[in-house]
A and B are shown apart, each in its own frame.
Chain A
Amino acid sequence: MKKLAIMVFGALVLAGCAGKPPAPPALERYAPAAQLLFLDRVTWGANATAAREMAELGAGRWLERQLAPPPGDDLPPKAAAQVAAMTITQRPVLMLAADLVERRRSVLALADDAQKKMEQQAFQQELTRLGREAASRSVLRALYSPWQLREHMTWFWMNHFNVFMFKAGLRATVGDYEESAIRPHALGNFRTLLGAAARHPAMLRYLDNAQNAAGRLNENFARELMELHTLGADGGYRQQDVQELARVLTGFGIVTRETARRGPTPSGEYLREGLFEFNPKRHDYGPKVLLGKPIRARGVAELDEALDLLARHPSTARFVSRKLAVFFVSDEPPAALVERVAATWTTTDGNIPAVLRTLFSSEEFRQSLGSKFKDPIHYVFSALRLAGTGEQVADTSRILGGLGRLGQPLYARPTPDGYPLTRMAWASAGQLAVRFEVARAIAYAGDWRIDPSLEKRLGPATVKALASAATPQERNLLYISSPEFMHR
């Protein structure tokens, strides 16, 4: 806690923390200042609407509503209209994929080289446009959806089950990956989420499992599935397990033109769901032992058996609970907290709302409020939510550009580990310098003022700097550049 204490500004000072067991859930007793800090921590940043809602409901009831959101977006009209007009909204992913496959075929068949090159470029631009649509939708939801916790957790899981949209044709499927595999389960059950991510064509392509076949093993997905998605690097598996899991995963891939032509069930166990397929001809039907346990199923059912084993492994409970605690509490979360969260994980079989409830009602969480350094995406979104004026809709392409400059663009982390969640990764000299430049762009975009009810308690150095502001825009700049605003 020492490191954190240095940067806590205006945070709660609570008595009797050391040594004693954590207090019972006390969300209802959060005072207004604490409620603001709570909002800053669990949402993409406090704004006037959310603050009002929390003041009315109290933090506890507000949280319960957030943990069980309705399926719809509930975006304000202008943002909703933008999403409704998107190709990825209007065209189901299967049709979209078929269009693109057809288009690429016709481009490749072109005889004229110059025309072919032009058409190939246009094809690539269309893919990029689709990926950017998905990213824009994600930004609009983060900024304007009232169901902030779902959007926040959607980003967390997208980062946990990271894919890189600039690999192959992933730009066309990344939107569906978020929409149908991740977001519906962001506040659901971990095992269901894991299964949806593992079956999605974006993941199967990204980690090369679409190429993994009997006798032609590709270990990539198997390794990351254990190291990054479930057990963690020190979760107790060996190279032998990677190879065994890779064999389990053979045959799970993406529908190709050939298999698509053959109709729904060309042979016994063949299975297709959307773009996902299980092809028995590519599957290794030999016996397998994973983590010391023989796999009982043969064929298509092996995937679920292996995922059950991984999802229910104690290492997974600990690894993912700790990651949630790093995201929501501190860079070095107390071991006792992680143990309690993991215990909830185990007793509820990975029920995400239950796990979050344990986390958010902990004393450690409460004491940490205001001290977590914002990564670029938290920084940019919270500044924009502060600046947001409701009616107007932000220019998402500028926002995406800003995230790129800060090194945290959406769907564009090339490596499967996802973006780091700790201060050490984001607070270097170079990053801070760029952050202030992005702050300037936000501060001077439009004529906005900070809602006084949202202003944090500020230290004397910040108060002094704000007093030197020559214009309202410069005051915005200094406020969102302040050490207080860099933390959530």
Chain B
Amino acid sequence: MTTLRLPRDLYPGSALDEALGVFAEHGTFERKDEPSHWVVHITARSPERERRVAGELGNYALGLTVKGRKRS
């Protein structure tokens, strides 16, 4: 299992929610949010795939965050 921790100050929850929806079919995701971070436990069929899914999920959430700031 790979854990992705995104700080709430830098990533809006809506961006993570949308990213999780997009990547739903690429692994199993379990959210256990903390006061300061969004925490996602990722399970995939191999550690290398978990690393890739976690990285792409983080990138996607970052991209949505940046686009959201440009719109506002």
B is a partner of A:
no
Chain A residues within CB distance 8 Å of chain B: none
Chain B residues within CB distance 8 Å of chain A: none
